[in-house]
């Protein structure tokens, strides 16, 4: 998970800086990543560093994030396609649905 401005999206998953970190209880952690990235990237790289397979997640699936050597566990409550965030949960994952489109895939999860 990269911190900084959104130019780090070319490397992988970016934590939106105005949002929370996993240990924050008053702000959601919002992570965004390209789904495909540059055309020169392999599917193996996409699978490991981007949100290429994010649309495969379903409610009930679990997500683990290691942050400052602490394992934070989340359970997905819903997956939506939209242009905007529709709810606030402890963790929100965001990626593009298509290569060039305003439609995003949003995964909403709660800490467990």
What pLDDT shows up at residue 11?
A: 81
What pLDDT shows up at residue 81?
A: 95
pTM of this prediction?
0.90
What pLDDT shows up at residue 77?
A: 98
Strands in 104-111's sheet, in edge-to-edge order, are 14-15, 29-32, 91-96, 104-111, 70-82, 62-67
What pLDDT shows up at residue 28?
A: 96
Residues of the chain with confidence (pLDDT) below 50: none
């Amino acid at each position: 998970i990269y911190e900084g401005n959104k130019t780090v999206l070319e490397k992988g998953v970016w934590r939106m800086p105005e949002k929370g970190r996993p240990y924050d209880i008053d702000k959601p952690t919002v992570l965004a990543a390209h789904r495909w990235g540059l055309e020169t990237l392999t599917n193996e790289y996409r699978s490991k560093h981007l949100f290429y397979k994010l649309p495969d997640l379903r409610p009930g699936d679990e997500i683990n994030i290691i942050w400052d050597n602490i394992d934070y566990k989340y359970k997905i409550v819903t997956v939506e396609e939209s242009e905007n965030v529709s709810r606030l949960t402890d963790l929100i994952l965001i990626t593009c649905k298509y290569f060039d489109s305003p439609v995003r895939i949003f995964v909403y999860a709660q800490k467990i």
